[in-house]
Amino acid sequence: MNYGTRFLLAGALATVAGIASAQQQDFSKVEIKVTKVSGNVYMLEGAGGNIAASVGDDGIVIVDDQFAPLADKIRAALKGITTQPLRFIINTHYHFDHTGGNLPLHDATIIAHDNVRKRLAIANVVGNGGALKMDQPANPKEALPVITFQHDVTLHVNGEDIRALHAPSGHTDGDSIVFFPKSNVVHFGDDYVRYGFPFIDINGGGSSKGMIAALEGAMAQLPADVKVIPGHGALATLSDVRDYVKLLKDTRAVVEKEVKAGKTLQQLQQEKVLAPWQKYSGQFVSTDLFIETLYNELTGKKVAALVKHN
């Protein structure tokens, strides 16, 4: 399989996690860091999205699997925790920095929302409906989830009732938030990240409105001391997530007010309407790109619909 195009996307998406661009990226130098979070849940950090791993007598369940070239390193890291086999993979959404390992790790059972399978099966233009866009090629059938769900699914393994709950129209239209109730851990996928302004895949059915609703809905179900695994970044608390939701609400309200006043995107950017939140501007999602994302969402800019795959 030709990974060249995927690496191009990988470099772009991985920038949000502080990884070098595609031309500079060297997966051979990536190290997998393992941290015990709570109970029987661990977090694995490497390149791309954070991985959660539930470990026990029933085997290993991981949430997301980063990039294909890291699969052997991920297996080795898991073997450093337990001799039990990898049995299940839950994809929180379809982006390749979270699903690239599906193909080399497909001896495990892959589980995801219906829309993740649909999007992985076709070519997509990942983007914010404007200047930020990246081609993501279709996957072979071996990399597709074999179990999908519409609302939620529960895995009864390792003494846990591991629940993946669909979060409609957040980061994408196929997001899942994954709960580990006995270990008191939650993996938010890219609905919650710690690199600054979030990337919202408008082309992929995402929205700030859906992201806010997903996070608030999940927080209402969680204990105050839950350990939070973000899609990218260090372990967090619910207090951190609340701050993030406030960021989303406040910036969205500012842009919405200006849109209702008839301002153009160029005017909003020139007037620096999000200047009070400039510290959240990043290499991947700058302030101007985040303004564009919110503007495209709030003005209902039409983007390519999900192509049905037969």
User: Does a structural domain hold residue 297?
Assistant: no
CB 162 within 8 A of CB 180: yes
Determine the 3-state secondary structure of 68 from DSSP.
helix
User: Does a structural domain hold residue 280?
Assistant: no
Element spanning 72, H or E: helix 71-79
User: Percentage of the chain surpassing pLDDT 90?
Assistant: 87
Residue in the block written with tokens 């001799």: 83
User: Percentage of the chain surpassing pLDDT 70?
Assistant: 89
d(CA 169, CA 166) in angstroms, rounded, equals: 9
Determine the 3-state secondary structure of 274 from DSSP.
coil
pLDDT at 284: 87
Convert the pLDDT of each residue in 125-141 to its tens digit.
999 999 999 999 999 99
Radius of gyration over every alpha carbon of the chain, rounded to an integer in angstroms? 18
User: Does a structural domain hold residue 266?
Assistant: no
User: Does a structural domain hold residue 151?
Assistant: yes
User: Does a structural domain hold residue 112?
Assistant: yes
Q: Is the pLDDT of residue 5 over 70?
A: no
pTM (two decimals): 0.90
User: Does a structural domain hold residue 202?
Assistant: yes
CB 184 within 8 A of CB 226: yes
User: Does a structural domain hold residue 284?
Assistant: no
- Mean pLDDT, rounded, for 104-129: 97
pLDDT at 283: 86
CB 89 within 8 A of CB 110: yes
pLDDT at 25: 67
Q: Record the tokens describing residue 84, joined without a space.
A: 């039990």
The CATH number that applies at residue 31 is 3.60.15.10
Residue in the block written with tokens 């390519």: 304
How many folded domains does the chain comprise? 1
- Mean pLDDT, rounded, for 208-223: 97
User: Does a structural domain hold residue 40?
Assistant: yes
DSSP track, 207-229: -HHHHHHHHHHHHTTS-TT-EEE
- CB within 8 A of 130, min separation 6: which ones? 202, 265, 289, 292, 293, 296, 301
**Domain carrying residue 89:** 4-250
